Amino acid sequence: MKKFLALVLALVMVLSLAACGEKKADNKNFKLGVILLHDEASTYDLNFINGVKDAAKALGLSDDQVIYKRNIEEGDACYEAAADLVDQGCKVVFADSFGHETYLLKAAKEFKNVQFCHATGTMAHTEKLDNFHNAFASIYEGRYLAGVAAGMKLKEMMAADSSVKPHIGYVGAFTYAEVISGYTSFYLGVKSIVPEVTMDVQFTGSWYDEIEEKNAAAALIDNGCVLISQHADSMGAPSVCEERNVPNVSYNGSTVNSCPNTFIVSSRIDWSPYFQYICKQTMEGKAIDTDWTGTIATGSVVLTDVNTKAAAAGTADKIKEVKAQLENGSLKVFNTANFTVEGAALSSYMADVDTDDAFTPDTEAVKDGFFHESEYRSAPYFNVNVDGINCLNAKY
Amino acid sequence: MDNNNHKEKQPLFHITKRNEMPVWQAMSVRVIAVMAALLLCMILSFILIGINPGKMLVSMITGSFGSQRRVWKFFKDLAVLLCISLAVTPAFRMKFWNIGAEGQTLIGCLASVACIINLGGKVSEPLLVIIMLAASLAAGAIWGLIPAIFKAIWDTNETLFTLMMNYIATFIVSYYLMVWTPSGSSTLGALKYGFLPVVFHNYFLLILVVVILTVLIYVYLNYSKHGYEISVVGESRRTALYIGINVKKVIVRTMALSGALCGLAGFLIVSALDHSITTNSVGGQGFTAIMVSWLAKFNPLAMAGTSALITFLNQGASQISTDFNIDSAFPNIIVGIIIFFIIGCEFFIYYKVNFRHKGKEAK
């Protein structure tokens, strides 16, 4: 009996020790793999890299617990990179580009014990895998705030010189919901300050094409746009604005160092809260949300510091005021009272939320007097053409 | 008169063409060049960004051979690059400077993807794959034929022509991506049909196809009548005309072959790897292939070696970027330096540098 007791005790001790060891080892052995479409040269990817770095700092992860794969094409290369990261012991694999999704999904189906997280994608909520997740942020709120800053500047310019017309420009990548939602919310932000504003949008047909973005910005300026913003990933548009001394509202991060005289403010998604979230959940063995939407409240939608040299007086205070309204829900960006479509208010809109081959609209998005963006899935689906915005080359 | 001033005018060094260097000697020059390049890279990596040169070398090697998966990837990447290199070679042997392999391969990809989109699920998988193959071969051949016909009839500049055809192919792909994605994202994602059968391993069949192709092209170029005609046209058109070769026919036929083989590479990329297309599906390999083919002196068997070298360097570079957590600029500089040395050393194999000898009178 004594022997048996001793054996049981010994077993309990060993097991508890092992359990202890395991728990500690969990955090030390934890590895995060990050798949990037480009590298630090792209503002889009740099924003993710900075997010990972901040998260790693907050969680106390060492340098060798984060593995980056740069310049991974949107093809089989993404699957290969994901599989290689799994081989190296990554517990969470993250990919940052829209086109990575189907290939990351392939890896998720093969490696069931690893969590796969994908930014900007749309398929997780319909694929229903335990280890495949989408994430995005309600960046339209950040765009709206940036639009308010632009509106302040425009108002100031018009007050100083009566010949300035309320006409602004926007360089977009594709006529894709993410871009349309972005420029529309920006426009509505400007419109809340300068109601008579109109906006031209020039598309480049690429997410990253510095020359095309430069050309587009220059063409808009030549056509009389007095302020420019953009949704494309290179420094093309901001640098042209600096050369031509036209105020610029940026995206993905501050461009104040290269554009000290024209940069007003930039909205961006801070991915750090999401990276912290997926790492923590995985370390603790908890499930990750299938479809995660970051907000102003989670610290995912942020604005950079206002550049007082270029911005209108009182911009920072105004942003603070509007941000509070967005946070407490008293202000809705896509309030149907604030815009018209072909001269009429928008009372109903079927959005394509569930991805299928035929791109069928499937969900009613207008309810309670506003368009419910980023609610039914994290990736944007607002793709309505609002009056006052003129798409110069909508073919893309 | 010149003879009188000989002594004063003799330069510090002058260059003469060598007689053929023995193979072992030529190989050792190349090995020395690679060693020198590596040494320079190590010194630079230490001075510029302070990384341990030894670790850098290890990183470079593990990039291709660090795991079984990476070895497969190495041979897969090698095979795709080799396939395109083999494709450009017949035209190069003819001194037809086809730099349109990028576009010819991309249009091959597009043809395969178009088949998947229009026929996927409507015909059986094996039939679909055969149709894709035929469509890609035809599309690549047509993309090669257009500049060849212009060259044969109007003697247009093939270098510019084939280069421009690359851009046309890229924009056609952009156009179809817009047509095929009504959501406006221009991102197709992996399609669900048109898979090359998997034998033994995902990449095995692709690699096998390219191995067989290498042997076939070698035999075609060295032991067939066509191959002989290509060589003669390349050496001298007048000779070719004199011995009764129809030069125009050879140009057109050879470019159709080159284009079709690029189309084959496009088919392999779509059916065995991506099952999709982007404007960057070929990723510059059409241009890299030119270097691979040239470095191998247009010898298909040697091309396996030069493709391996380029693939090894590329994978090593991305592994360095991952291991040392730096952007891709510095690893690419390293690859550039190594390739520069390798190309540069060819000069010393074919030419001799003679320094001025003091006291000795040159004959």
Query: Per-residue pLDDT tens for A332-382?
Result: 999 999 999 999 999 999 998 987 777 788 999 999 999 999 999 999 999
- Residues 6 or more apart in contact with residue A262 via CB below 8 angstroms: A238, A241, A242, A245, A246, A247, A248, A310
**B190 lies within 8 A of chain A by CB:** yes
Taking the CA of residue B139 and the nearest CA in chain A, the distance in Å comes to 22
CA B190 – CA A374 distance, rounded (Å): 25
pLDDT of B309 reads 94
**pLDDT average, residue stretch B51-67:** 92
CA B117 – CA B119 distance, rounded (Å): 6
Q: How many domains does chain B have?
A: 2
Q: Which amino acid is at A257?
A: N
Give exposure, A215-249, as e/b (b: 16+ Cβ within 10 Å): bbbbbbbeeebbbbbbbbbbbbbbbbbbeeebbbb
**pLDDT average, residue stretch B1-27:** 75
Q: pLDDT above 90 covers what percent of chain B?
A: 78
Burial (CB < 10 A; 0-12, 13-18, 19+), residue A209, is middle
Is residue A167's pLDDT more than 70? yes
Residues B240 and B333 in one domain: no
pLDDT of B363 reads 43
Top residue of A45, A78, A80, A354 to mutate, by most chain B CBs within 10 Å, is: A80
pLDDT of B1 reads 45
Out of B178, B274, B322, closest to residue A76 by CB: B274
Out of B260, B277, B306, pick the residue that ends a domain. B306
Is residue A11's pLDDT more than 60? no
Is residue A187's pLDDT more than 60? yes
Q: Report the candidate in A266, A272, A228 with the shortest Cα–Cα distance to residue A247.
A: A228
Note the CATH architecture for domain A28-137+272-294: 3-Layer(aba) Sandwich (3.40)
**Which CATH number does the domain housing residue B151 bear?**
1.10.3470.10
Q: Same CATH topology for A28-137+272-294 and A139-268+303-391? A: yes
Residues B144 and B209 in one domain: yes
Note the CATH architecture for domain A139-268+303-391: 3-Layer(aba) Sandwich (3.40)
pLDDT of A22 reads 43
Residues B32 and B76 in one domain: no
Taking the CA of residue B174 and the nearest CA in chain A, the distance in Å comes to 8
Residues B344 and B205 in one domain: no
pLDDT of A7 reads 57
pLDDT digits (tens, 9 = 90+) for A221-276: 999 999 999 998 888 999 999 999 999 999 988 889 999 999 999 999 999 999 99
Q: pLDDT above 90 covers what percent of chain A?
A: 83
Residues B21 and B129 in one domain: no
Structural domain boundaries in chain A: 28-137+272-294, 139-268+303-391
Residue B298 forms part of a structural domain = yes
Q: Which residues of A touch B328 (CB under 8 A)?
A: 39, 70-71
Q: Which domain holds residue B332?
A: 1-51+324-363
**B184:A396 CB<8 A:** yes
pLDDT of B184 reads 83
Residues B30 and B170 in one domain: no
Structure tokens at B97: 């400077």
CA B125 – CA B24 distance, rounded (Å): 50
**B118 lies within 8 A of chain A by CB:** no
Q: Which residues of A touch B185 (CB under 8 A)?
A: 98, 174, 176, 178
In this structure, the number of other CB atoms found within 10 A of the CB of residue A354 comes to 15
Out of B182, B185, B327, closest to residue A70 by CB: B327
DSSP 3-state assignment of A37? coil
**Per this entry, what is the length of chain A?**
396
**pLDDT average, residue stretch A121-125:** 93
Residues B20 and B151 in one domain: no
Q: Report the candidate in B30, B15, B7 with the shortest Cα–Cα distance to residue B339.
A: B30
Q: pLDDT above 70 covers what percent of chain A?
A: 93
Is residue A32's pLDDT more than 90? yes
CA B276 – CA B270 distance, rounded (Å): 6
ipTM: 0.90
- Residues 6 or more apart in contact with residue B134 via CB below 8 angstroms: none
**pLDDT average, residue stretch B92-96:** 94
Residues B295 and B339 in one domain: no
Residue B216 forms part of a structural domain = yes
Residues B93 and B147 in one domain: yes
**pLDDT average, residue stretch B116-121:** 95
Is residue A12's pLDDT more than 70? no
Q: Does residue A97 contact residue A37 with C-beta atoms inside 8 Å?
A: yes
Residues B94 and B232 in one domain: yes
Structure tokens at B50: 């302070």
pLDDT of A359 reads 79
